[in-house]
Amino acid sequence: QSRQARRICALAPIIPVIVVKDAAHAVPLARALVAGGLPALEVTLRTPVALEAIRAMADVEGGTVGAGTLLTAADVKAAKAAGARFGVSPGLTETLVKACEDEGLPLLPGAVTASEVMRAMEWGYDCLKFFPAGTSGGAAAIKALGAPMPQVGFCPTGGVSLANATDYLSLKNVLCAGGSWVAPQAKMEAGDWMGIEDLAREAAALPR
């Protein structure tokens, strides 16, 4: 399971966490992020148009579109049917793991404690989302988990910004990070796709 997830995480230092409120934003947003150097795109299933956005973004050249906020087996089915090539979940349940395996959807499940990470490893997952990163101990917590479990790679998300991304990306056990700052609602509403491309380029240049 994790081999494909690791491939997704290797694409760029930052995976944009996207909330699409207007389906018309999907394609220009995806094009801007990909043009700026961020090909892996996480569209959160938090708005009524999220699945429609995934369907539209799936055709954007150079992009790899995934679905975030997977909470249920139905979410997994719908995401896969819409064309998502990977899934992201804030947590990890047996139901979710089974659904992703049934659908053949690579999953980045969430885990922040040693026990959660150990359970993920038991199920064959060693590429995990660390969420919510900022309030779960941040980079210091990920570094500490790496001592007993160096084989696990993390994608911290939640409270990651341009200012603190390097704290995470400089760790050996951080593969990439996720953040919403590269796709701000105000820029989408203003149709400022060049501005979003600039934000993407800045994030894509972060060292890791």
Task: Give Cα 108 distance to the centre of its chain.
Answer: 8
Does position 136 interact with ligand 3PG (CB under 6 A)? The reply is: no
77 is catalytic: no
Q: Which stretch binds ligand 3PG (CB under 6 A): 32-40, 139-147, 177-185, 190-198?
A: 177-185
Active-site residue (options: 42, 80, 187, 197): 42
143 is catalytic: no
Residue 125 vs 130, nearer CB to ligand 3PG: 130
Does position 79 interact with ligand 3PG (CB under 6 A)? The reply is: no
Which of the residues 10 through 29 are near ligand 3PG (CB under 6 A)?
17
Q: Which listed residue (91, 159, 184, 195) binds ligand 3PG by CB under 6 A?
A: 159
Active-site residue (options: 80, 129, 187, 197): 129
Distance in Å, CB of 61 to ligand 3PG, minimum: 26
Contact in structure between 153 and 177 (CB atoms under 8 Å): no
Rounded to an integer, what distance in angstroms lies between the CA atom of residue 29 and that of residue 145?
35
Does position 168 interact with ligand 3PG (CB under 6 A)? The reply is: no
Per-position DSSP letters for 14-26, written without gaps between them: EEEEE--SSGGGH
Q: Of 79, 77, 83, 81, which Cα lies nearest the Cα of 95? A: 77
- Angle, helix 26-35 to helix 50-57, in steps of 10 degrees: 50
Please give the torsion angle defined by the CA atoms of residues 128, 34, 101 and 51, in that order, rounded to the nearest 10 degrees.
110
Please give the torsion angle defined by the CA atoms of residues 145, 151, 157 and 163, in that order, rounded to the nearest 10 degrees.
80
Q: Which stretch binds ligand 3PG (CB under 6 A): 25-33, 73-81, 138-146, 156-164?
A: 156-164
Residues that bind ligand 3PG (CB under 6 A): 17, 131, 157-160, 178-180
Catalytic residue set: 42, 129
